[in-house]
Amino acid sequence: MKPSLNWVGKRVKRIDGPEKVTGELKYMTDYHFENMVWGKVLRAKYPYARIHSIQTEKARQLPGVICVLTHEDIPGFNGFGIVIPDQPVLASDIVRCTGDAVALVAAETQEIAEQALRLIEVDYELLEAITDAELAMSSSAPKLHPDGNIHSHVKIINGDTDAAFKEADIIIENTFYSPRQMHAFIETEGGWGVMDDEGLITIRCPGQYAYRDRMQIARALAYNPELIRVISSPIGGAFGGKDEITVQIYLALLAMYTNGRPVKIHLSREESVIAGIKRHPFKVQMRTAAKKDGTLLANEVRAVADTGAYASLGGAVIALAIEHSCGPYKIPNVNLEGFCVYTNNGISGAFRGFGVNQVCIGIETHLDMIAEQLELDPVEIRKKNVYHQGDISSMGHVVKTSVGTFKTLEIAENCDLWKNRSQFKKEVSEPWKKRGVALATSFHGIGMGIGLPDYGAASIELLPNGKFLVAVGCEEIGGGNGTTYAQIAAEILNCDISKIKVVQGDTSKTLDGGTVTASRSTYTGGRAVAAAAPKMIKLLTSAAAEILQVPLSDIIVQRDCLTAKEESLTYKAIYEYLYIHHKPAKVEGHFLLPKEKVEIKGSGGAPHHLYGYLTHVVMVEVDTLTGETDVLRVVSIPDAGKVINPQGLEGQAEGGAVMGIGYTLYEDVIIEEGFHKTKNFTDYIIPTIRETPVIETFPVEDAEQTGPFGAKGIGEVVMIPIIPAIMSAIYDATGARIYHLPATPERIFNALKDVKNKMPNIQGDKNDE
């Protein structure tokens, strides 16, 4: 029998809850200093232009201005970017999007800083903006970067698709378009920078990897990274949007010129919309072949992603998209290709789901279309084609870690919504509304792919008050990883969770443990804590044996204390002993994420060793008069391995589902000729509480052997299959297929009209544009 667990697997309340619900918690953008100054960024006036000159004299002379900085004031390398640093910190000779920074100002007040920005004269020569990714790929298009406009190209070939398409009984082919989604974190980018008398620079700015932010700052400043401290946690929401540098380098540069006064930048929402990265809009062409019995034979994919003006993580996004483009299925013949393309449309980068959102709409819609034509049940066709642990994936590699898809489908077909769907569909709220129920399944890699460092690190320190300080680099992004770390530590140390304090995201207090991205922080950080905790037990036990002068084997680790025979020691007493005897009270735990050994040729880092899986069932109601669609019910069935905190898992499932609803039905940042037409939440509509459906979460608790207590990851896959599930539910309700997201009332209305007119061809790209 397994030993029972005290903390892991329990609905432990968030350890940061009280500070958050009272507003006492200080975010980086909340700090206020007496002698502060305000920093502002001058953004490019045009999406694509040459800069002939930048005149700053008038701005410098404005009373109250402390400094005005341009590219000439950058001591180090004028560039940043996670993979290749192709984005200038401050533009020198060219601007490639309206988010480009041209100059920085620090001033006594925000108003003076803004006025100073208006006094900076930039002489631009306008160039014709490239705003279409396919056009940008053509040989005649002007080159936005020295190596051309195709930033990356991935291609995976397995089997023989030509032969397979000849054998096929059914072939489906469509083109899918997806929008430029905005992260819409509630806390816009911002923070503080200050330099002290000894040259130590402190940057307080929410980010998803403090150590990498520090490296990028140091590179731009040509400054010893040891003299830079980055505090990046807590974060007021990020979802990938604070993975790249936001304002950290601006803060550090300004801090060098403000005579030791702290400088604050906090972007307005309007500036955040223009300067912040977005989800890549994709065009996905897909051709899928199957046998009469529903066995998938072949899949061809060509995806083009608009990465905007700079690389950021665009190459990795398209690689992950292609890796996931066949779904969690075993398709023996595939030919998959993706292009990541530069344009002048803002900047695209990391966003929850990381490319998988855009491709899963293709394969899942095709599964439903094939099932319908062959008169197969949508669950059966998926069960027939999913891979299991030990099977060979569509890419041709053996999947060695846990795979929960089949179980999620079993739960899906037995849930109330699916079983009783014909009844629910009859219960329309108005006679002109129609309801549909559909399901979809997807997956998402956990951690980085092949070729990237991926490790977790944690430290645990016994404090003078007898509590333990658990320090993990991965920031508290909102998902509750800090509570998870506390649960794992308390479980192994056998103490009450109130004895655990957690610190995250601070280069002076936490070890380098990688990013809070890629659905990795519970898995990787959790394993690191689980590696450190037994060392702390050993440290406590050794000290206790010395104090009590008994053999080590006599020491028993009890709840909140250590005992030997009749005697008991508190943690506080042990700390005092260690302190007096100058012995260390801190341990470290390290974990290397397991990797696949062989990279799939041309894939750019596939496969991942580990994936999380999830099936969504949804019910929608479509107003046939207006095209407006409501999602009424969602069932989310994740395979995240062992669930460390069911309440936290539900929180991810619920938040992810609603973000997926926004992506499918409402959200798109409109950019025309390189200029953002979307400005703020007045014209960028995210779901409110009124759009939230009834959401149920039924996790498949299939333990993954390599994870902490059997856990995997959850953060991204929670928003993925709901997207095609909603699209298919709209079809189930109305007979209208949607190929272009978001499925706005207008698009649905037009699709309904086409169905009504019995257009002979209702295929995507032909009818949609």
- Please give the residue ranges that form the binding site for other proteins (CB under 8 A): 11, 13-14, 16-27, 30, 32, 183-188, 234-239, 266, 268-269, 477-480, 647-648, 650-651, 653-659, 680-682, 686-690, 692, 695
What is d(CA 216, CA 253) in angstroms, rounded to the nearest whole number? 12
Phi, psi of 562 (to 5 degrees): -120, 140
Name the pairing type of β-strands 586-592 and 567-569.
unpaired
State the nearest-atom distance from the C-beta of 501 to other proteins, in Å.
Answer: 15
What is d(CA 329, CA 253) in angstroms, rounded to the nearest whole number? 49
State the nearest-atom distance from the C-beta of 472 to other proteins, in Å.
Answer: 17
Q: Between 459 and 504, name the residue whose CB sits nearer to other proteins.
A: 504
State the nearest-atom distance from the C-beta of 229 to other proteins, in Å.
Answer: 22
State the nearest-atom distance from the C-beta of 467 to other proteins, in Å.
Answer: 17
State the nearest-atom distance from the C-beta of 506 to other proteins, in Å.
Answer: 18
State the nearest-atom distance from the C-beta of 58 to other proteins, in Å.
Answer: 25
State the nearest-atom distance from the C-beta of 297 to other proteins, in Å.
Answer: 38
State the nearest-atom distance from the C-beta of 268 to other proteins, in Å.
Answer: 6
Q: Between 286 and 477, name the residue whose CB sits nearer to other proteins.
A: 477
> Greatest CA span in the chain, whole angstroms?
90
State the nearest-atom distance from the C-beta of 17 to other proteins, in Å.
Answer: 4
State the nearest-atom distance from the C-beta of 315 to other proteins, in Å.
Answer: 27
Nearby residues of 763 by Cβ (< 8 Å), 6 or more positions away: 173, 174, 739
Do the Cβ atoms of 193 and 209 come closer than 8 Å? no
Query: Which amino acid, one-letter code, is at 2?
Result: K
What is d(CA 181, CA 686) in angstroms, rounded to the nearest whole number? 10
Closest by Cα among 749, 634, 641 to 696: 634
State the nearest-atom distance from the C-beta of 349 to other proteins, in Å.
Answer: 17
Do the Cβ atoms of 56 and 123 come closer than 8 Å? no
Do the Cβ atoms of 458 and 589 come closer than 8 Å? yes
Closest by Cα among 454, 247, 427, 440 to 361: 440
Query: Which amino acid, one-letter code, is at 557?
Result: V
Whole-angstrom distance between the N-terminal and C-terminal Cα of the chain?
61
Strands of the sheet with 586-592, listed across from one edge: 500-504, 468-472, 455-462, 586-592
The dihedral sign for the CA sequence 539, 540, 543, 545? negative
State the nearest-atom distance from the C-beta of 547 to other proteins, in Å.
Answer: 35
Q: Between 346 and 687, name the residue whose CB sits nearer to other proteins.
A: 687
Q: Between 399 and 722, name the residue whose CB sits nearer to other proteins.
A: 722
Q: Between 315 and 687, name the residue whose CB sits nearer to other proteins.
A: 687
Place of tokens 């005005």: 68
Q: Between 461 and 654, name the residue whose CB sits nearer to other proteins.
A: 654
Distant-in-sequence contacts of 698-701, Cβ < 8 A, 24+ apart:
698/411, 698/415, 698/635, 698/636, 698/637, 699/637, 699/638, 699/639, 699/640, 699/643, 699/646, 699/649, 700/404, 700/407, 700/408, 700/411, 700/613, 700/637, 700/638, 700/639, 701/641, 701/642, 701/643
State the nearest-atom distance from the C-beta of 687 to other proteins, in Å.
Answer: 8
Distance of CA 527 to the CA centre of its chain: 20
HSE, side-chain direction, 13 A CA sphere, residue 128: 6
State the nearest-atom distance from the C-beta of 645 to other proteins, in Å.
Answer: 9
What is d(CA 439, CA 724) in angstroms, rounded to the nearest whole number? 8
Q: Between 304 and 477, name the residue whose CB sits nearer to other proteins.
A: 477
Q: Between 234 and 378, name the residue whose CB sits nearer to other proteins.
A: 234
Q: Between 159 and 237, name the residue whose CB sits nearer to other proteins.
A: 237
Q: Between 33 and 432, name the residue whose CB sits nearer to other proteins.
A: 33
Q: Between 230 and 477, name the residue whose CB sits nearer to other proteins.
A: 477
Name the pairing type of β-strands 121-126 and 49-55.
antiparallel
Report CA-CA distances (Å) from 403 to 386, 553, 612.
9, 41, 8
State the nearest-atom distance from the C-beta of 691 to other proteins, in Å.
Answer: 9
E strand or H helix that includes residue 457: strand 455-462
State the nearest-atom distance from the C-beta of 475 to other proteins, in Å.
Answer: 11
Q: Between 38 and 591, name the residue whose CB sits nearer to other proteins.
A: 38
Strands of the sheet with 150-158, listed across from one edge: 150-158, 333-342, 296-308, 282-290, 170-177
State the nearest-atom distance from the C-beta of 31 to other proteins, in Å.
Answer: 8
Q: Between 392 and 694, name the residue whose CB sits nearer to other proteins.
A: 694
Report CA-CA distances (Å) from 238 to 52, 99, 214, 571, 625.
36, 18, 18, 37, 37
Q: Between 41 and 129, name the residue whose CB sits nearer to other proteins.
A: 41
Do the Cβ atoms of 447 and 524 come closer than 8 Å? yes
Q: Between 447 and 687, name the residue whose CB sits nearer to other proteins.
A: 687
Q: Between 224 and 268, name the residue whose CB sits nearer to other proteins.
A: 268
DSSP string, 134-202: HHHHSTTSPPSSTT-SEEEEEEEEES-HHHHHHH-SEEEEEEEE--------SS-SEEEEEE-TT--EE
Q: Between 512 and 696, name the residue whose CB sits nearer to other proteins.
A: 696
E strand or H helix that includes residue 660: helix 646-665
Do the Cβ atoms of 505 and 210 come closer than 8 Å? yes
Other Cβ atoms less than 10 A from the Cβ of 225: the count is: 17
